Amino acid sequence: MAGASSPPSKAPAEPHTPDTEASKAECVCVAVHVRPLVESELAEGCEHALTVTPGLPQVGHGAHRFTYDHVFGGDMGRPAWELYGACVAPLVEGLFSGYNATVFAYGQTGSGKTFTMGSSGFGARPEEARGVIPRAMEDLFGHVTQRPAMHCTVRVGFVEIHNEEIRDLLTAAVGGGGAGGGAGIKIREVPGQGVCLAGAAEVEVTSREELAAVLEAGSVLRATAATGMNRRSSRSHAIFTVTVEQRRMEEGEDGAGGPRRCSTASQEDTHGGGRSGDEAEDDAAGEAPQAAASGEDEGGAGSYLCAKLHLVDLAGSERLKRTGATGARLQEGIDINKGLSELGNVISALSEGKPHVPYRNS
Ligand SMILES: Nc1ncnc2c1ncn2[C@@H]1O[C@H](COP(=O)(O)OP(=O)(O)OP(=O)(O)O)[C@@H](O)[C@H]1O
Ligand SMILES: [Mg+2]
């Protein structure tokens, strides 16, 4: 799993001063989540292929050792429930300071990416086993309630890349028609906004329950199928995008006219017993370096921020001999491997600072 954060596309006029834990840390963090053996593996007498070096974020395979930022799970890794707090919570917090971020779950088919992201079956999982996405949703609306001085608008988009085509999982999920709608979604570069998916739906949500319902409905539409290595193998790369827009409310303003203030079930409770409005306002002001510096907003310093979080559950890399794929599954496997290989090339080009990044090879 990898998480990365970057400043918003509208760069500040002044040099940017990082002010959150997310921005103080490295901008790319790579963590390993070692899953336990599943029933079928136990029945076959399989053993763990990886060892975890005690006290180090390091895994071993044979004579090789690989060091990461974190290792969770396995006999010696950090407890799996700590993954969210260590890797993703700072990114969700950073959203409210205007930082864009992406979390990728990457790995071989059957290694536990979909389970780790928690993009399906949330209701069925016990609290401590919830995945990254449900935790992020809860956390996100927690942050909203802590900012009573801001109008917050939360919008979500959900697409999958299946056989090299982008399909909208939201169009159908919100009642727009057949499964995997949105044919004709195009990748466009819009001046001032960066890369956009033209034709993909975005839906405004006002509570974590609404957000969960949209995600769950979209997940059901996602392409999955049984292969020789996973009974419910994801056959597509799924991208769940949350956009948080914040605008500072003017004195006496009740929220009409501008971006709607987010309401959550616990908002009144927070007003009544927890932090005061002033405290929350101080926080919001302190965490808005970009807008404060840019002066682009009519409302003045720190009055408007917008940032996106992409939560990506990639399809798994496959050895086609081992998955036993034929026909449609085989074509999916070929496209999955191609997409992952090109993603690797993009990340290499970015990390090496190459002048050409092959974004459009896949
Ligand atoms: N941490 C975990 N604890 C218990 N079971 C797990 C865990 N992670 C994964 N599993 C189980 O392992 C199996 C494979 O997991 P999953 O479908 O998430 O893999 P995947 O990496 O998404 O595979 P693919 O690339 O084929 O989509 C599932 O049965 C899942 O329930
Ligand atoms: Mg999967």
**Reported confidence tier of residue 204, pLDDT bands at 50, 70, 90:** very high
Of 272 and 347, which is predicted with more confidence?
Answer: 347
Residue 276: per-residue pLDDT = 30
Looking at this protein, which amino acid is placed at residue 102? T
Report helix angle 208-221 to 132-145, nearest 10: 150
For 6, 36, 88, the CA distances from 114, given in Å and listed in that order, are 24, 14, 16
Interatomic CA distance for residues 220 and 214, integer angstroms? 10
Q: For residue 199, give both structure tokens.
A: 């034709």
* Ligand 1 pocket test, candidate residues 230, 312, 319, most atoms within 8 A of CB: 230
Mean pLDDT over 76-92 rounds to 92
Does pLDDT of 56 surpass 70? yes
SS3 label, residue 79: coil
Interatomic CA distance for residues 211 and 215, integer angstroms? 6
Mean pLDDT over 170-192 rounds to 68
Mean pLDDT over 348-359 rounds to 92
Does pLDDT of 271 surpass 80? no
296: left (phi over 0), alpha (psi -120 to 50) or beta: alpha
**What angle (nearest 5°) sits at the alpha carbon of residue 159, between those of residues 154 and 160?**
150
- Give the model confidence (pLDDT) of 291-335 as tens digits: 433 334 444 446 899 999 999 999 988 887 777 778 888 899 899
Q: Considering only CA atoms, which residue is closest to atom 29 of ligand 1?
A: 38
Write the DSSP assignment of 276-330 as a string of letters: -HHHHHHHHHHT-HHHHHH--STT-TT-EEEEEEEEEEPPPB--HHHHT--HHHH
Contact 228, 323 (CB under 8 A): yes
Does pLDDT of 3 surpass 90? no
Of 114 and 293, which is predicted with more confidence?
Answer: 114
**Reported confidence tier of residue 272, pLDDT bands at 50, 70, 90:** very low
Task: State which ligand 1 atom lies nearest to the alpha carbon of 33.
Answer: 1
62: left (phi over 0), alpha (psi -120 to 50) or beta: left
Residue 121: per-residue pLDDT = 62
- Give the model confidence (pLDDT) of 206-253 as tens digits: 998 898 888 888 988 888 888 888 888 888 999 999 999 999 887 766
For 82, 113, 279, the CA distances from 116, given in Å and listed in that order, are 12, 5, 35
Instruction: Indicate yes or no: pTM above 0.85.
Output: no
State if residue 114 touches ligand 1 by the CB under 6 angstroms criterion.
yes
Does pLDDT of 288 surpass 50? no
Residue 151: per-residue pLDDT = 92
Interval between CA 41 and ligand 1 midpoint (Å): 12
Class of domain 81-174+185-249+303-317: alpha beta
Q: Which of 149-158, 179-188, 284-293 has the highest mean pLDDT?
A: 149-158
Looking at this protein, which amino acid is placed at residue 314? L
Query: What is the C-alpha R_g of the chain?
Result: 21
Ligand nearest to the backbone CA of 115: 1
Q: Which residues pair with 105 in a beta bridge?
A: 313
State if residue 219 touches ligand 1 by the CB under 6 angstroms criterion.
no
State if residue 316 touches ligand 1 by the CB under 6 angstroms criterion.
yes
Residue 275: per-residue pLDDT = 27
Least confident range from 168-182, 290-304, 334-348: namely 290-304
Residue 293: per-residue pLDDT = 32
Does pLDDT of 197 surpass 70? yes
* Residue 234, number of CB atoms within 10 A of its CB: 27
Q: For residue 362, give both structure tokens.
A: 């896949």
State if residue 106 touches ligand 1 by the CB under 6 angstroms criterion.
no
Least confident range from 69-73, 99-103, 105-109, 324-328: namely 324-328
**Reported confidence tier of residue 10, pLDDT bands at 50, 70, 90:** very low
State if residue 119 touches ligand 1 by the CB under 6 angstroms criterion.
no
Residue 179: per-residue pLDDT = 47
**Average model confidence (pLDDT) for the chain?**
78
Percent of the chain with pLDDT strictly greater than 90: 43
Contact 193, 290 (CB under 8 A): no
Does pLDDT of 285 surpass 70? no
**Which residues are within 8 A (CB) of 296 and not within 5 positions of it... i.e. 6 or more apart?**
10, 304
266 known member of a binding site: no
Contact 35, 139 (CB under 8 A): no
The enclosing H or E element of 275 equals none
* Residue 79, number of CB atoms within 10 A of its CB: 9
Domain spans of the chain?
Answer: 27-79, 81-174+185-249+303-317, 327-361
